[in-house]
Each structure stands twice: as C-alpha cells, then as structure tokens.
Amino acid sequence: GGRTGLIGVTIPIVHAAYFAFILSGASEALYEEDLRAVLCPTQHEHDREVDLLGRLMHGTTDGALLMLPSETPEELQALRDFGYPFVVVDARAPLHEGIPAVTAANSSGAKQAIAHLLDHGHRRIGVITGPRSWNASNERLIGYHAALAGGGLVPDPQLEVEGDFEHETGYAGATKLLSLPDPPTAIFAFNDDMAVGALNAALQRGLRVPEDLSIVGFDDTVLAQNVSPALTTVYQPLAEMGRM
C-alpha cells in the first residue's frame, strides 16, 4: 500500500541521556510493530528541523515522532492539516487542541519536589529554571509557586534564576543564588544536568550536601545516580513516554 515501514524521529541532541531514554522506549515499540526509526538530529535549529520534516513527510516515512520540536504550534497544526501523522513528545510550547502529544506531569512533579524540601524544614528554596519560553519550564515554575503557597510562603524573585538545562548554567545559577546576602538553604534545579552543576558549585564553596545545602533535580537520569552524593530527583518515565 505504499507504506515504507519507517518512522522519522526528530531529536535535538542524540547524546543527551534525556532524549536517549525516550528514543530507547520508542525504538522498542516500533520494533514490536515491525517498524524502524529514521533518526534525524536537529541541534535545536528550526530551519534544519523544518527541512528534515519536509523530507520525511514526502514519501520517505509513514509518520514521525517529534521530540521537543522547534516548530511553532501553527506550523505543527499545518503539518497535521496536511495529513502527515506525528506525535509530539515534550512540546516546547502549548499545542493546538487535537495535536497528539506525550509529556510528563511537570507541574505536579515540581510541586512534589518543593513539598519534599518543605517537609525537611526549608523555607528559602532557590530554583534554577529552564528557558522561560519552554512549556516544561513554565509548568515546573507553576508547581514551585503552588507548593510555596501551600506552605504559606511568598515567592522571592531573587531566588529564581534562569538556566538552559545545561550543566554550566546550573553551576552559574547556583553560584548566583549562593552569593545572595541571604542565600537559599535548598536549590531545586529543573533538570539533573543543572542540579549536578549546582552540586559542583556548592562543593567548590566548601558546602556539604545535604548537611549545609539540599539539592533536588528533575528527570532521574543515570547522571543523578553517578554523582556523590547521589542526587535526589523527580523521576520522569522517559522510556515509557517514548513507548507511549
């Protein structure tokens, strides 16, 4: 019937553990259906991704899995209107109704992380966010604010610094937070890479973790288990998300 048996997978970065786990679950599910993945790294470049999608949708593949796509919601809606089947994993921006997507409960996960820190007596909790224009980052910030409100605390803008989900911005963000006249006693980083960056910044300042400073990440990648001390983190079922 003209089917290729191939499914395109656009992925920003191949080496990142976050995307690798999603890819592993997706690949297993495709294999069980006698389908194969065509891997298309995008490097977060919009024009490159649009070009790749153009090739995928014109007879090369039967459909696509789009991880953290850089296309606008309007561009994705146009792709859907064209009739090309696809699923978004971890949308960067809110999608139009009817576009199939799989994502974690970002707000709930962040709320649980902050509740955990509040239960341990922390009242000044700093956060290192992802880019403010990204959906996951905004939802996690909402969860952070909701948990603070539930604990009777008012958010302090000084305790919120923006990162980009990379280790270096976790280090820089923690350095900024720990340099405040009244520094936080805990830091919640919006992914494990930034949390490890925060951990390194704390250790270099002679702080003990968790005795002097508590740090929580998000994702539960292998990285969280392989640092010392091991990182407290919010589990995201990445392989299951890819399989779904």
pLDDT digit of tens for each residue in the chain (244 aa)?
A: 578 999 999 999 888 788 999 999 999 999 999 999 999 999 889 999 999 998 898 878 999 999 999 999 999 999 999 999 999 999 999 999 999 999 999 999 999 999 999 999 999 999 999 999 899 999 999 999 999 999 999 999 999 999 999 999 999 999 999 999 999 999 999 999 999 999 999 999 999 999 999 999 999 988 888 898 989 999 999 999 999 9
Residues 6+ apart with CB under 8 A from 54: none
Q: Which residues pair with 233 in a beta bridge?
A: 217
Please report the pLDDT score of residue 58 as a whole number: 86
Q: Which two tokens stand for residue 153?
A: 């605390």
Give the strand pairing for 86-89 and 125-129.
unpaired
Q: Of 166, 161, 151, which Cα lies nearest the Cα of 183?
A: 161
Residue type at 118 in one-letter notation: L
Question: What sign for the dihedral angle of Cα 140, 133, 42, 165?
Answer: negative
Question: Residue 15's pLDDT is what?
Answer: 80
List, in sequence order, every beta strand (DSSP E) within 106-179: 125-129, 160-162
What φ, ψ does residue 41 adopt, rounded to 5°? -65, 135
The secondary structure of the chain in percent helix, strand, coil, rounded to multiples of 5, reads 45, 20, 35
Residue-level pLDDT at 1: 53
What pLDDT, on a 0 to 100 scale, did the predictor assign at position 125?
98
Whether the model clears a pTM of 0.85, i.e. scores above it, the answer is: yes
Cα–Cα distance, 230 to 152 (Å, whole number)? 30
